[in-house]
């Protein structure tokens, strides 16, 4: 299996069994309810694309992501990621990190 689409399934955690998908190259987990980056994904060494758009993720395990040699694109648009995630730029992470534009801070 090369691609797995689990978009819009109200998922908040990913089963460990995903690590046994040895040929998985792309996973779509958009429009779910993840609050944290699904850690089992870090063990899938063949993953090239991870789509986590429209979840509730605030932080990501940057060290684990940086160690994913095949990863080319991580989509975190429409997630309330913290400012530290915005600092993950090349060469720290060797993949494309897609984020929503920062909303301006309202003036008091």
Domains and CATH numbers, the chain: 3-98 (3.80.10.10)
**Is 23 within 8 Å of 46 (Cβ atoms)?**
yes
Average pLDDT, the chain: 87
What is the CB-side half-sphere exposure of residue 88 using CA atoms within 13 A?
23
Contacts of 60 (CB under 8 A, 6+ apart): 37, 74, 76, 81, 85, 88
Distance CA 32, CA 10 (A): 5
Q: Tokens standing for 92? A: 């720290």
- Mean pLDDT lowest for which of 42-46, 54-58, 61-65, 104-108? 104-108
Average pLDDT over residues 47-62: 93
> Pairing state of beta strands 49-51 and 26-28?
parallel
Task: Please check the confidence at residue 83 and state whether its pLDDT lies above 70.
Answer: yes
Task: Please check the confidence at residue 90 and state whether its pLDDT lies above 60.
Answer: no
Task: Please check the confidence at residue 59 and state whether its pLDDT lies above 80.
Answer: yes
Task: Please check the confidence at residue 28 and state whether its pLDDT lies above 90.
Answer: yes
Task: Please check the confidence at residue 21 and state whether its pLDDT lies above 90.
Answer: yes
- pTM assigned to the model: 0.86
What residue has token string 């301006």?
104
96 pLDDT tier (thresholds 50, 70, 90): confident
Q: Which residues of 2-13 are buried (b: 16+ CB within 10 A; e: fewer)?
A: eebeeeeeebee
> Is 48 or 85 the better-scoring residue by pLDDT?
48
């Amino acid at each position: 299996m090369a691609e797995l689409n689990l978009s819009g399934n109200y998922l908040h955690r990913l089963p460990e069994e995903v690590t046994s998908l040895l040929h998985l190259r792309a996973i779509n987990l958009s429009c779910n309810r993840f609050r944290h980056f699904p850690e089992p994904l870090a063990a899938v060494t063949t993953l090239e694309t991870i789509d986590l758009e429209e979840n509730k993720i605030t932080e990501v395990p940057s060290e684990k992501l940086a160690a994913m040699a095949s990863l080319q694109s991580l989509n975190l648009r429409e997630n309330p990621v913290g400012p530290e995630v915005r600092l993950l730029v090349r060469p720290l992470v060797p993949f494309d990190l897609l984020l929503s534009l920062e909303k301006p801070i309202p003036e008091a």
